[in-house]
Amino acid sequence: MSDWRSTPCVERHKEFLENLITTLIDSIFESVSRENPVLRWREPGHLQDIINLNLQEEPRNQDCLLDVATKVFKYSVKTGHPYFMNQLFSGLDPYGLAGQWLTDVLNCSVYTYEVAPVLTLMESTVITKLLSMFYKEENGTTIGDGLFCPGGSFANGTAINLARFWFKKKIQYNKNIPSMRLVLFTSEDAHYSISKWGNVCDVEVVLIKTDDYGRMDVSDLRFNILEEQKKKNYPFCVTATAGTTVLGAFDPLIEIADTCQEFGMWLHVDAAWGGGLVFSKKHSVLLRGIQRADSILFNPHKLLAVPQQCSLLLCKHKSIFKEAHSKEAPYLFQKDKFYSRDLDVGDKYLQCGRRPDVLKFWFMWQAKGTSGFEKHVDHLMKLSALFKEEVEKRDGFKLVTEPCFINVCFWFIPPYLRIQNSVYDYKKRLNEVAPKLKEKMIKRGSLMINYQPLHKKPNFFRFVIQNSGVNIEDILYVFDEMENLGESM
């Protein structure tokens, strides 16, 4: 077995890494140029012809590896391109990338101070700062604690588990009591992970109606809580959303918090998408009431454009993570360690080994400052407002609903449908427009923007941005390109 650190090996490996990285750095910047496509669409069979993905018995040589790495990059979607507006993430911040690269070099897991001293303290610094931003400090003392999670769905699931733990403790739950159904409430526009993880945790999930703007209807919430109580079920948790996935709506947090208080329920706020507003003095008003949440999910990888993935679950109750999750595994959290066991954060997590997601966020924060994130958020909000105005100005574009956040939902109405909006199959025909237009964009590689139906509304487009590099010309480009592609439909 060759030792990869022997001198000839070291030189060969160094050279390989340097060659690869030089190519990558050039490619990144070139690939997000507006002259280059967002993607190069290929059918799966064709793509497999271009890149030989098969796993072989024998090694491939370095030239071959460089070649295949180049192809993997070339045929992957350029999520950092200004015309990539397809998901609730985009952009590629150079400092975020630097933090990610450094993380990879550390190749570590954050559970004990002895293996991850710097990252442990860094996580604590970021969590403390975010707690002080979301939950205003009381007498200068930070309340609560936080977890880094592999994505928002997992964080929502963890919150449901905590809410159940808290509720069972409160009512002194006895597991020998026959069948007791715990019920969680969330809006019909909430993220689907709530229902998914409701299944995992084996609790009922009741979906509450939303209004025209996508906000939870609090009177419907109250009605449903009372209904469940009549059935002798146990309402234990409401998960509200601050920035829904499609419409970007904010549930009325204060009224929901009042309702939770009245019925003795846990309030979880899914601010995965909207949470980044906490950095903006101007726009954080949309989060009003969030400090009353028992737990808050916030994804810096969404609005703040931190690289994938960076999700946090913040919680007002400082000791509940340990109470609910701790198993004190004696092979990791030895009781006779020479340093304080409080420094080992792993025991409060549902994960054991855990990839560090803090460094890229922390590094970006150092590079931009808190003020940089504020400028970023304000810039995106301003562009979204401009986008909305443009929808209202242009023929053939129509708002689905009045937006209050980044999301601007709209229909593109092609010329042949503009004059016949009273025909009997108008809705059906409008529903067919978005998928067709999307296909054209993707095949041309000129733009990626998402579409979906919602309730009884036919397919519409959802404009979103997270990339600071997007400017007003790009906004106009989106309209021009859609008109361009839609012309011939």
Pick out residues in 157-186 that bind its own copies (CB under 8 A): 157, 161, 177-180
Query: What is the closest distance, in whole angstroms, from the C-beta atom of residue 439 to its own copies in the complex?
Result: 4
Distance of CA 459 to the CA centre of its chain: 23
Tokens 């404009």 correspond to what residue? 463
Q: Does 371 bind its own copies (CB under 8 A)?
A: yes
Tokens 């150092």 correspond to what residue? 366
Q: Taking contact as CB under 8 A, which single stretch among the options 2-10, 219-227, 254-262, 280-288 is the one that binds its own copies? A: 2-10
Contact 63, 106 (CB under 8 A): no
Instruction: Give the three-state DSSP class for 408.
Output: strand
Is 259 or 321 the residue whose CB approaches its own copies more closely?
321
Contact 189, 247 (CB under 8 A): yes
Judged by CB under 8 A, the residue of 8, 55, 232, 419 near its own copies is 55
DSSP letter at 292?
G
The interface with its own copies within residues 19-38 (CB under 8 A) comprises 20-22, 24-25, 27-29, 32-33
Is 292 or 355 the residue whose CB approaches its own copies more closely?
355
Query: What is the closest distance, in whole angstroms, from the C-beta atom of residue 142 to its own copies in the complex?
Result: 13
Q: Does 233 bind its own copies (CB under 8 A)?
A: no
Q: Does 307 bind its own copies (CB under 8 A)?
A: yes
- Longest CA–CA span in the chain (Å) reads 79
Instruction: Give the three-state DSSP class for 267.
Output: strand
Q: Does 489 bind its own copies (CB under 8 A)?
A: no
Q: Does 295 bind its own copies (CB under 8 A)?
A: no
The interface with its own copies within residues 383-422 (CB under 8 A) comprises none
C-alpha pair distances (Å), 191 with each of 239, 247, 339, 410:
10, 11, 42, 20
Q: Does 352 bind its own copies (CB under 8 A)?
A: yes
Q: Transcribe 273-284 into DSSP letters.
A: TGGGGGG-TTTG
* Interatomic CA distance for residues 279 and 300, integer angstroms: 11
Judged by CB under 8 A, the residue of 215, 283, 301, 316 near its own copies is 301
Query: What is the closest distance, in whole angstroms, from the C-beta atom of residue 268 to its own copies in the complex?
Result: 15
Q: How many positions of this chain bind its own copies (CB under 8 A)?
A: 156
Q: Does 191 bind its own copies (CB under 8 A)?
A: yes
Contact 156, 239 (CB under 8 A): yes
Q: Taking contact as CB under 8 A, which single stretch among the options 287-295, 305-313, 391-399, 476-484 is the one that binds its own copies? A: 305-313
Is 188 or 258 the residue whose CB approaches its own copies more closely?
188
Query: What is the closest distance, in whole angstroms, from the C-beta atom of residue 356 to its own copies in the complex?
Result: 8
Q: Which residues pair with 205 in a beta bridge?
A: 184
Helix or strand (DSSP H, E) at 344: none
The interface with its own copies within residues 424-463 (CB under 8 A) comprises 431-432, 435-436, 438-439, 442, 448, 450-454, 459, 462
Judged by CB under 8 A, the residue of 117, 137, 171, 427 near its own copies is 117
Is 140 or 178 the residue whose CB approaches its own copies more closely?
178
Is 409 or 413 the residue whose CB approaches its own copies more closely?
409
Contact 201, 266 (CB under 8 A): no
Q: Where are the alpha helices (DSSP H) in 202-336?
A: 218-230, 253-263, 320-325
Contact 449, 478 (CB under 8 A): yes
